[in-house]
Amino acid sequence: MTIMQESNRTETVAAGSAARQVDAVLPPAGSLAGLDYVQALTAVALETLREVTLDRPGPVTAGGPAAVREAARRSLGGPLLPAEPAYPLETFRRFVRDYATWSVDVSHPAAVARMQCPPTPVAAAAELVVGILNQSLHAWESGPYALELERYVIRELGELVGYGPDAGGTITAGGSISNLMAVLAARDRVLAQRCGWRPFAQGLTGLDKRPVVLATDATHFSIGRAVGIVGLGEDMIVRVPSDELGRLLPEELERTLAGLPEDVVPVAAIACVGATDQGWVDDVAALAEVTRRHGVWLHADAAYGGGALFSPRLRPRLDGIAEADSVTLDLHKFGWTSATSGIFLVRDASVMTPLAQQTTTLNADDDAEAGFIGLYGSSVQATRRAEAFKIAVTMNALGRDGMAAMVDGCHDLACYAADRVEAEPALELAARPSMSTVLLRYRHDGDVDAFNGELRRQLMTRGVTLLARTRVRRPDGSSPVFLKLMLLNPATTTDELDRVIDDILATAADLERSAQASR
Ligand SMILES: *Cc1c(COP(=O)(O)O)cnc(C)c1O
């Protein structure tokens, strides 16, 4: 069937629902007429996505920022809210085409830049259901089954981490929000215990102590933001000396805590479980031994490394994670659900209470006593999407073996790519991969940082390969630019990965030639 015939067919399917007419008012998606409509629109979407995927040779359409801006100007330059309604199917087709044409194809083997996993088909289809049913988690009457589902997802992930029956948590809009909730929980719990202070209610002015968070120079930037947001001041973070990788060392944490001035209250120390670049893991059990003695909250940021919990092979590296007071996981990274699928877990669910202020509309006591309980009190949001649905259905479909095979597949690919990089005289490998990242750079006589930066931009502009960049700490204090492959697509073959490295080498060679020619 050609695209035109397909289009006619889908228009006809929806004809009964008046898609042919230009209606001023559309039916609700979840009504019978609306479901016919959704079916027709979904057929258009899938057909268009298939076409765009077949048309495009690389992970992104070539041309770089200028080309995307020009495409957007052409398509979106008219008013987004025109005076008259248009045919929904045709409008939708046009929007899907442009959006997909200029999107990153996260399922392409050469899309290895960001921690954006390609979601499973189950997760993607689950999003359609979540969108149509449009449940929310803030009140019982906004999503009664959705909130049960969230409780089950949180309970099972808590068990996966190793937490006991008192654990709690919430699904969040990502690792940054989970880390924010951790810093908030730590601030309120520790200041209540140590100073009898309730910062959520009382604020921080008037407190005669200075609360601080301890981290290293390598701690993820989202922690700095969280500390700023909760009023403790990003610049006031106490940076604990770390090892050459950036790991938080128990003995240095001990020394730093012991040396803090009298008027300083350490509220939290931040451990990293799976560093964003190199995948290394802090020794959470040893750190917890120190923080417990000092009455400090220990948070484990496993936004990336948490995926290893699913793998019997990698799981031992995370031993001791349950000793942390709270844990951040991100299943939209190493979990094959679409963004966002952030998870915040706490060993003791009662720490969430500062968020459970009484409202006039959401949480009346007599309703709660009768079992009509929403999840407003365990989140920084009110209206909140039912992300638990795609997570539950994906985990159920893949099972333990499936999740393990996906994680191990990515780890295997990273090891394969590292072998290949080591075997290429023109490339330098930063370190053997711990999880699913490979850090490499092209050897170049001259400004090697600038060369690798330009190499990455060339690859992106040509639409050949999407890579990330970072800086790697060296024992001599330098931090050269490296390029990063983030391997989160276990369906990639080693041949495809070889082609990615071939493309990097070929583009770098072109760049060397043009640099020499212009000299
Ligand atoms: C990705 C990441 C975050 C931030 O998570 P988002 O979901 O992008 O907000 C925090 N910490 C670490 C270690 C990460 O890798």
Assess whether 259 and 356 both reside in one domain: yes
Report residue 214: phi and psi, to 5°: -105, 135
Nearest residue to 356 (alpha-carbon basis) of 324, 332, 336, 379: 379
Q: CATH no. for residue 242?
A: 3.40.640.10
Assess whether 266 and 332 both reside in one domain: yes
User: What is the model's pTM?
Assistant: 0.94
Assess whether 206 and 286 both reside in one domain: yes
Q: Could you read off the pLDDT of 167-226 as tens digits, one per residue?
A: 999 999 999 999 999 999 999 999 999 999 999 999 999 999 999 999 999 999 999 999
pLDDT band at 5 (very low <50, low <70, confident <90, very high): very low
Letter for the amino acid at 76? L
**Tokens at residue 9, please?**
């067919």
Is residue 8 predicted with pLDDT exceeding 70?
A: no
| 25 in a structural domain | yes
Assess whether 399 and 497 both reside in one domain: yes
Of 330, 435, 484, the residue with max ligand 1 atoms within 8 A of its CB, to mutate for a pocket test, comes to: 330
At which residue do the structure tokens 């041309």 appear? 63
The answer to whether residues 105 and 59 touch, using CB atoms and an 8 Å cutoff, is yes
At which residue do the structure tokens 């808590």 appear? 158
The answer to whether residues 305 and 274 touch, using CB atoms and an 8 Å cutoff, is yes
Instruction: Give the C-alpha distances (Å, rounded to integers) separating 450 from 112, 156, 502.
Output: 21, 46, 21
Atom number, ligand 1, closest to the C-alpha of residue 177 = 9
Minimal-distance CA residue to ligand 1 atom 4: 175
Assess whether 400 and 339 both reside in one domain: no
The answer to whether residues 111 and 56 touch, using CB atoms and an 8 Å cutoff, is no
Is residue 486 predicted with pLDDT exceeding 70?
A: yes
The answer to whether residues 318 and 162 touch, using CB atoms and an 8 Å cutoff, is no
Is residue 14 predicted with pLDDT exceeding 90?
A: no
| 373 in a structural domain | no
DSSP state of 310: G
What percentage of the chain exceeds 70 in pLDDT? 96
The residue ranking higher by pLDDT, 330 or 476, is 330
Q: Name residues whose C-beta falls within 8 Å of residue 235's C-beta, 6 or more positions apart in sequence.
A: none
- Among the three residues 83, 103, 123, which one is the final residue of a domain in this structure? 103
Determine the distance separating the centroid of ligand 1 and the alpha carbon of 175, expressed in angstroms.
4
Determine the distance separating the centroid of ligand 1 and the alpha carbon of 390, expressed in angstroms.
20
The answer to whether residues 485 and 436 touch, using CB atoms and an 8 Å cutoff, is no
Q: Could you read off the pLDDT of 323-364 as tens digits, one per residue?
A: 999 999 999 999 999 999 999 999 999 887 777 777 778 878
Assess whether 302 and 251 both reside in one domain: yes
Atom number, ligand 1, closest to the C-alpha of residue 330 = 7
What percentage of the chain exceeds 90 in pLDDT? 86
pLDDT band at 21 (very low <50, low <70, confident <90, very high): low
Q: Could you read off the pLDDT of 226-271 as tens digits, one per residue?
A: 999 999 999 999 999 999 889 999 999 999 999 999 999 999 999 9
Assess whether 345 and 451 both reside in one domain: no
Question: CA 87, CA 40: separation in Å to the nearest integer?
Answer: 13
Assess whether 207 and 350 both reside in one domain: yes
Determine the distance separating the centroid of ligand 1 and the alpha carbon of 376, expressed in angstroms.
23
Give how many domains the chain has, as a whole number: 3
Q: Could you read off the pLDDT of 28-63 as tens digits, one per residue?
A: 999 999 999 999 999 999 999 999 988 888 999 999
Mean pLDDT, rounded, for 289-308: 98
Assess whether 206 and 287 both reside in one domain: yes
- Write the DSSP assignment of 327-350 as a string of letters: EEEEHHHHS---S--EEEEESSGG
Question: Which structural domain range is residue 192 located in?
Answer: 176-361
Determine the distance separating the centroid of ligand 1 and the alpha carbon of 305, expressed in angstroms.
10
Determine the distance separating the centroid of ligand 1 and the alpha carbon of 304, expressed in angstroms.
7
Of 177, 180, 220, 284, the residue with max ligand 1 atoms within 8 A of its CB, to mutate for a pocket test, comes to: 220
Assess whether 205 and 59 both reside in one domain: no
Assess whether 409 and 275 both reside in one domain: no
Average pLDDT, the chain: 93
| 330 in a structural domain | yes
Instruction: For 77-88, give the secondary structure using H, E and C.
Output: CCCCCCCCCCCH
Q: CATH no. for residue 503?
A: 3.90.1150.10
